[in-house]
Amino acid sequence: MTDPLIDRLRAQVGGVRDGALLRFSIGNALLADGQYEAAVHAFREALVFDPTYSAAWKLLGKALLAMDNEDGAAHAWQQGIDAATARGDLQASKEMAVFLNRLSRKR
């Protein structure tokens, strides 16, 4: 059984409100529900709409890490740091740098 929130969000795909925020919201709900592969897909769709969406990069990395894809998570966070820095989102850049540092110490 799927989460009603996920169903409601997915019903909006292709509509007038479709975009990075909707796809990010779907990914966030899927991530919280433990559907990591589907969350990765939704975050990547959000990034097609807006490649500088630092929150999508951050959660994409978390979803990939939850799938034990450490290389993918590191790559997502590095791209997220680049995007956040270019956008001036210093807090997101710092958060992803912390995630990368933790990951590199774990390896």
Instruction: Give the CATH number, domain containing residue 61.
Output: 1.25.40.10
Q: Which residue did the predictor score with more confidence, 107 or 78?
A: 78
Residue range(s) defining the domain that contains residue 74: 4-106
Alpha-carbon distance 24 to 22, whole Å? Answer: 5
pLDDT over 90 percentage in the chain: 94
**How far is the CA of 97 from the CAs of 14, 26, 84, in angstroms?**
34, 25, 11
Residue 1: pLDDT above 60?
no
Number of separate domains in the chain: 1
- pLDDT tens digit sequence for 90-107: 999 999 999 999 999 987
Q: Tell me the C-alpha distance between 87 and 23, whole Å.
A: 20
What pLDDT, in 10s, does the model give residues 3-58?
899 999 999 999 999 999 999 999 999 999 999 999 999 999 999 999 999 999 99
